[in-house]
Structure formats: C-alpha cells, structure tokens
C-alpha cells in the first residue's frame, strides 16, 4: 500500500496533462477524474457514510459515481448494513438516482448466507436482526427457531443491528451461546452514520452478548477478508481501491484483502483520526466522495 496519505482537500492540479476528460454527465461536460482515482481499474464503495447518510446522498455523490462510470471504472458497493437485502439496496440506489445492478452489491447478509451454507449439516438458528437477515439465514438452509421453545437451545446465533432489538433477544441469545451455540456477527461496527448523528451498530449488540457470555463472535462482515474477496471475484483482475468512512472496517478490511484504502469524512471518521492512522494508512483523505473522485 502507498506509504503516505494524500489529503485531496489540499491538492490542486494545474496541468491539463494530469487529468483525463470523461464523457458527458447530465447533459454537460463531465468532471475529470483525480489522478489518484484514474490509477485504479475498480473501486469498492461503502454505502453508509460514504455514498449516503440515512436517505440522503452525500454531497456530489451522484456526480462522482457518474464520473466513475463514464471513465469505465468497475464499481462494487460493499456494506455492513444488515437492514436490507441485495435487491432492496439496488432499489434504494436507483431511487436516489444511482445506477446499480445486483452483481454490483455485496452485503453482509449475503456474506452470512454464504458462510452458513458451507456448514456440513443444517443447524437451528436464533437470529437477532431485521427480516432481511432472517431471510438470508433461511436461504442458507438453516432452520430459524425464533419464537419457539428451541430458541434458547439454538446451535447458531446470528447478530445484526435492528430497531427491534430488546432484552428478551439478548437473554435468549445468551442462553443459546452459553449452551454451545456458535455466535456469528454481521460486522463489528460500534456505530453507523444516521441523520442527526451516529446510531448504535451491530458491534454494540455483539459487545453486549460477548460480555454476557465471555465468548467471542465470528465476524463475517467488514473487516473480514472474505466479504472483500466476494466483491473482488466479481470485478476481475486490475488495481482496486476501497473507499469508505471507517478506519476499522473499511480501511482494515481493505488491508486484509491486500487493497489500498481511502477515507472520506462524511461518516464517522474525523480528519484528525484519519491523519493519525498508521496501520493501515489511507492512501487518500477527502472531505467527500466527490472530492476524492474528481480533479
């Protein structure tokens, strides 16, 4: 990975030769890509805090993605948000004016489904999570036992943040894990960006369960290498850059997968935190995705 981070907010390009003009966006001349972005063939993009916050796009995100596509860059969206299915994320992207296909979306829910599907035998599963996660667990071939007498004796406990989380779920999951259930986490992010400020993420729920059981969860979301590998398998050969707003999951996961990582400041990471990061160190720090992508 590049040894010294580039602060794109302070970089000015004065020679036309450093830029590459790209296509037409929304009927006007497109913005040129930054020299940094132009050096990569593929771009992995986090969603929450990078492309959008809640239901609103980050400043210039639509134009940034348009510039990437016009320049022929391959894209893949990779997220630890477990509230929606891949299909629902594609619909949300289109609803916000961003083109996307199912092949371009990799979610932690899909990663959990793949992980569970590799089990030698079908297992009973207690799921803390939104309906999207329950569907992924069912589609993996496991038997969901929520709401039954078997819940506290489940063989697998899956944990993902959702608004319906309560003490009863924590109690049942604790009993199952203490009884020998494998604990699987949909990421370890303590918070995620939301309108008005951060909300507790899956990592907060996992921490509660780990404290109660003195057991360690198996994380299958970012920064686990496998979720990044799933995205890379779809992109093919070439240089790939990961862009996200978190040092731990986005930058750490990129490093685990052998990728360069860039940080945008529209999510949970401050400029001071990004500049102080050492291992791994971001190849670039930018105020927004738009500032990172365009010259």
> Do 72 and 42 sit in the same domain of this protein?
yes
Whether 30 has a pLDDT exceeding 80, the answer reads no
Please report which confidence band the pLDDT of residue 295 belongs to, taking 50, 70 and 90 as the band edges. Answer: confident
For residue 267, pLDDT beyond 60: yes
Which residue, 112, 174, 106, 107, is CA-closest to 142?
Answer: 112
Averaged over 55-75, what is the pLDDT? Answer: 97
Q: Span 208-226, mean pLDDT?
A: 97
Mean pLDDT of 169-191: 97
Do 200 and 233 belong together in one domain?
A: no
Query: At 148, which CATH number?
Result: 3.40.50.1000
> Is 1 contained in some domain?
no
Domain boundary pick from 219, 243, 277: 219
Name the domain count of the chain: 2
Predicted pLDDT at 194: 87
CB atoms within 10 A of CB 163: 7
By residue range, what is the domain housing residue 278?
Answer: 6-80+222-293
pLDDT at 170 (0 to 100): 98
Phi, psi of 6 (to 5 degrees): -105, 125
Percent of the chain, pLDDT > 90?
85
User: Is 81 in the active site?
Assistant: no
pLDDT at 153 over 50: yes
Instruction: Place 195 in a pLDDT band, splitting at 50, 70 and 90.
Output: confident
Residue at token pair 């580039």: 6
Given a cut of 70, whether residue 21 has pLDDT beyond it is no
Cα R_g (the chain), whole angstroms = 20
Q: Which one, of 13, 85, 87, 89, lies nearest residue 46 by Cα?
A: 89
Q: What is the pLDDT of residues 223-261, one digit of tens each?
A: 999 999 999 999 989 999 999 999 999 999 999 999 999
SS3 248: helix
Cα–Cα distance measured from residue 185 to residue 156, given in angstroms and rounded to the nearest whole number = 11
- Choose the catalytic residue: 7, 18, 41, 48: 48
- Known catalytic membership, residue 260: no
Give the C-alpha distances (Å, rounded to integers) separating 7 from 47, 62, 151. 21, 22, 50
21, 45: one domain: yes
Mean pLDDT, the chain, as a whole number? 90
Residues 132 and 176 in one domain: yes
7, 38, 41, 46: which one is catalytic? 46
Instruction: Report how far residue 168's alpha carbon sits from residue 147's, in angstroms, rounded to the nearest whole number.
Output: 11
* Structure confidence at residue 146 (pLDDT): 98
């Amino acid at each position: 990975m590049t040894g010294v981070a580039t602060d794109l907010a302070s970089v000015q390009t004065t020679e036309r030769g450093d830029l590459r003009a790209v296509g037409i966006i929304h009927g006007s001349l497109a913005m040129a890509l930054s020299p940094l972005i132009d050096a990569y063939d593929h771009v992995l993009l986090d969603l929450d805090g990078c492309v959008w916050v809640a239901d609103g796009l980050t400043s210039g995100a639509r134009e940034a993605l348009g510039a990437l596509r016009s320049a022929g860059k391959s894209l893949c969206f990779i997220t630890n948000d477990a509230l929606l299915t891949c299909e629902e994320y594609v619909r949300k992207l289109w609803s916000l004016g961003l083109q996307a296909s199912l092949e371009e979306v990799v979610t932690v829910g899909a990663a959990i489904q793949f992980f569970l599907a590799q089990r030698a035998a079908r297992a009973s599963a207690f799921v803390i999570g939104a309906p999207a996660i329950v569907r992924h667990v069912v589609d993996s071939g496991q038997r969901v036992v929520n709401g039954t007498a078997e819940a506290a004796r489940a063989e697998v406990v899956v944990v993902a943040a959702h608004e319906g989380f309560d003490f009863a779920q924590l109690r049942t999951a604790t009993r199952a894990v203490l009884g020998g259930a494998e604990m699987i986490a949909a990421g370890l992010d303590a918070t995620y960006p939301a309108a008005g400020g951060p909300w507790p993420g899956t990592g907060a729920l996992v921490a509660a369960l780990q404290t109660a059981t003195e057991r360690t969860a198996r994380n299958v979301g970012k920064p686990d290498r496998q979720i990044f590998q799933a995205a890379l398998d779809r992109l093919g050969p070439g240089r790939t850059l990961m862009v996200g707003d978190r040092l731990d999951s986005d930058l750490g996961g990129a490093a685990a997968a052998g990728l360069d990582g860039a940080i945008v400041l529209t999510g949970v990471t401050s400029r001071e935190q990004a500049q102080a990061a050492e291992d791994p160190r971001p190849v670039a720090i930018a105020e927004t995705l738009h500032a990172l992508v365009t010259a």
